[in-house]
Structure 1
């Protein structure tokens, strides 16, 4: 048999490498990139940036009137922002995409870390390295009897996780740091879940509620001044209840600053007996399925108008405040005034409107267009009468707190006589023998009725987030080892050598002092500790790998 010369034999062909399947590699690499901590931080930053337009631009779910006013001020820019979702930022597809990607990234990032942390909690501290003198902290305990059970007991007393092996004691501490990190990130997921539930299944509505049974309202969308409904809710899902404002107590300091607000309402919930409840600004009214918050208050003048046919109409009109002293402006309109009782025909040119300025505390010497104090100490009502077409039948939306200025400019609504200041109980007789009476005021309260199913989840998650953050900042993971070795050839207890080593797993400037105090507690005195051989510092020696020599 002939033998082949190895020097002349052709080289062996290199093994062929299988080409990775791109259909598998692409999703795997994309998932790894998405679940990295860097991507999670970038998405969190993008979410914060994406929320800025929601706080700068008016949102349709909060106030439709402000969105319409923005259209009037910026007729060219507003349609562009509308197409980009600028007026519905938190319901836009791009904001939802960032939200869902951040949620997925956090879940994919936390689950592997949680698995590794649970495995580390269950596992015992690793055995001591072969050379303890190479650790950042090292000490020799001369004269120690070598009783490892006493050393282990002292370590357990100081709440170290201890494992005693033959000739060594291993202990570690500081797992709370990683526990805090995981709690912090899990709470972020909880906040995202709570916000998502509140956005999908929450609702809110604002209502200006005037005192009196004739102004009570029930929980339907049609009776709210403005409202927002989650996309997963139907108007019939709102909980049934009715509220009637019976009293409002407002206290002010002598300087005019508000001291306290308290509203008293009659509550009628389905399935329960009517009851009376009181609530304040910082103590909302808790109902079954909704919370009622007190936002503000004001005064509603009661004005009675008697037309030329002797028929009287009474209007209770809320006047919104215009300054801190509760100087309020509003309008009282009587579109059904001066209707001929014989024919029943309404003359649009005989409608009446009164533009008013209400001052809770009117100056005594001269009448100024500003109240001196927000409490009703000397109330006065300045009225300006207008007769004509109020423009209510034109179909053009207008504010209920001012007269239609277009009707005044066109001459369809004319001022009648001169303005008049009325005190409570005063009567003003106009030129056509019609009369206006100021009967007094009623308080009104501005209420915000809200329901957020994720509110408690967000609250608990925020508390856990702060707890996890403090644990993460305060936690320091470190390990210590104690080993007993014979000194020379003798095996007697007096000739045994006990040495200790310590290793911080993270940057911990105070570990040297803690290690010295721990060794002192074990020995019962000051140890003969050494940083390292030949005086080398911590940065000059290599750190041993976990679980190795």
Structure 2
């Protein structure tokens, strides 16, 4: 039994809790510095030549599960350990402190009062009247008062003792919610062109919600640099009910546990017309060899598939730059313009952008938000100081003994006490 008590004391020690918080903070920083949830080859390619911190190469990184820090066994172990330490601390320390604060302590001798943090003896000629006056004054100022045979006990701010317990409870719920969300949450990143949609499957592999992009717009500054991306999305339920909303960067759309973020943008296709052909919508792909944000495609200029040309573009506003098969610049075409290219009339109708949507389903969010509310309430209550005052009158003597203590802000109580003493001296 003694060993169990020692283990529990060790688990609930402040040093252990601080050490765990430090390790968790370092782990979170590591998860921020190292890209998460990438392929194994990504870590081999990037960290074998340039090891993390100079020693952790791709093999060690994967072995230590640094590629998914927040769901690794050791990170979850740290969270469970911290949660257990907080729970033990609450049961072994905070709950007894709260219970002690709720219990009325009856001091029956002047010696007991003299041992308090603040104590004073007052000589008075009218004991009963003075005690009644201070009792009424205490109650008027919000103190809870209990009187027993000429002895008065008063307390204020006992609810402040609930604060640390709520903070511990909130932190435990926060870790449970974050862990549950990490293990069961889903994240999908998808580029959609206007009019396109994506079907989300339920756990039973059945079609659930359908996300449709109705409209996408890129707002640019006078120099042509992107400033904001806006998408109008339709969320369609299996029964046909539809809800539409505009989302933009920092303004997501939350719908029944699903959060849609405006994350990025891209270019999806070029609509062109070759000679008298119908309007052709040709998909384009990124070409990193030509630049960070360059998209393009190769098309033939002859019906037999010969004389290919390369069309490249850097924004939805154009222009489209056209190159020969050997890389020679042929011409530059703006939208709604046409020109002979290698004896073929080509017209650029428009350039279709695509919206980069990030879809997140995190079932732990309600727990996380609840935990934040509990922590805020607990932190607010913890500011409240718990104050206690005892007043004792010895029968047959013209002396009254008064003393008090406070778990914090003792100087505040020492400033209040003279006001009560003045009532006893009158």
Shorter-chain TM-score range: 0.7 to 0.9
> Quick check: 1:91 aligned with 2:71?
yes
Deviates more, 1:188-197 or 1:103-112: 103-112
1:130/1:258 CA distance change after superposition, 3 Å: farther
Map 1:51-450 → 2, pairs under 5 A: 51-60=28-37, 67=43, 70=46, 74=50, 77-131=57-111, 132-133=113-114, 135=116, 136-140=118-122, 142-147=124-129, 148-212=131-195, 215-219=196-200, 236=204, 240-251=208-219, 261-297=229-265, 300=268, 302-304=270-272, 306=274, 313-317=280-284, 328-334=293-299, 352=308, 354=310, 356-359=312-315, 379-385=317-323, 387=325, 414-415=326-327, 417-431=328-342, 433-434=343-344, 436-450=346-360
Residue pair 2:267, 2:315 contacting (<8 A) in 1 also:
no
Map 1:482-497 → 2, pairs under 5 A: 482-486=391-395, 496-497=398-399
Cα drift, residue 354 of structure 1: 2.9
Residue pair 2:252, 2:261 contacting (<8 A) in 1 also:
yes
Q: Alignment RMSD, CA only?
A: 3.7
**Distance (whole Å) between structure 2 residues aligned to residue 293 and residue 116 of structure 1:** 46
Q: Which secondary structure does the structure 1 equivalent of 2:359 belong to?
A: strand
Q: Which secondary structure does the structure 2 equivalent of 1:155 belong to?
A: helix
- Structure 1, residues 259-315: CA drift from partner, whole Å, max 9, x if none? 7654222332112334543334444323334121222445555243749x9798421
**Distance (whole Å) between structure 1 residues aligned to residue 272 and residue 295 of structure 2:** 15
Task: Give the structure 2 partner of residue 452 of structure 1.
Answer: 362
1:508/1:353 CA distance change after superposition, 3 Å: farther
Match of 2:404 among 478, 496, 502: 502
Q: Which secondary structure does the structure 1 equivalent of 2:107 belong to?
A: coil
- Structure 1, residues 84-117: CA drift from partner, whole Å, max 9, x if none? 2121212222212212211222222222335414
- Structure 1, residues 110-143: CA drift from partner, whole Å, max 9, x if none? 2233541453354223325423455423252635
**Distance (whole Å) between structure 2 residues aligned to residue 198 and residue 293 of structure 1:** 17
Query: Which residues of structure 1 form unaligned runs of 5+?
Result: 1-23, 221-233, 322-326, 341-346, 361-378, 388-413, 489-495, 529-549
- Structure 1, residues 374-401: CA drift from partner, whole Å, max 9, x if none? xxxxx432424364xxxxxxxxxxxxxx
**Distance (whole Å) between structure 1 residues aligned to residue 285 and residue 257 of structure 2:** 29
Deviates more, 1:422-431 or 1:78-87: 422-431
**Distance (whole Å) between structure 1 residues aligned to residue 399 and residue 77 of structure 2:** 64
Match of 2:379 among 462, 469, 478: 469
**Distance (whole Å) between structure 2 residues aligned to residue 140 and residue 239 of structure 1:** 81
**Distance (whole Å) between structure 2 residues aligned to residue 506 and residue 201 of structure 1:** 43
**Distance (whole Å) between structure 2 residues aligned to residue 107 and residue 251 of structure 1:** 51
Residue pair 1:303, 1:436 contacting (<8 A) in 2 also:
no
1:463/1:248 CA distance change after superposition, 3 Å: same
- Structure 1, residues 333-377: CA drift from partner, whole Å, max 9, x if none? 45x99785xxxxxx8xx59563523356xxxxxxxxxxxxxxxxx
1:260/1:380 CA distance change after superposition, 3 Å: closer
**Distance (whole Å) between structure 2 residues aligned to residue 300 and residue 145 of structure 1:** 91
Structure with greater helix share of residues? 2
**Distance (whole Å) between structure 2 residues aligned to residue 72 and residue 429 of structure 1:** 51
Cα drift, residue 53 of structure 1: 1.5
Cα drift, residue 237 of structure 1: 5.9
Deviates more, 1:447-456 or 1:168-177: 168-177
Structure index of larger Rg: 1
TM norm structure 1:
0.65
Task: Give the structure 2 partner of residue 44 of structure 1.
Answer: 21
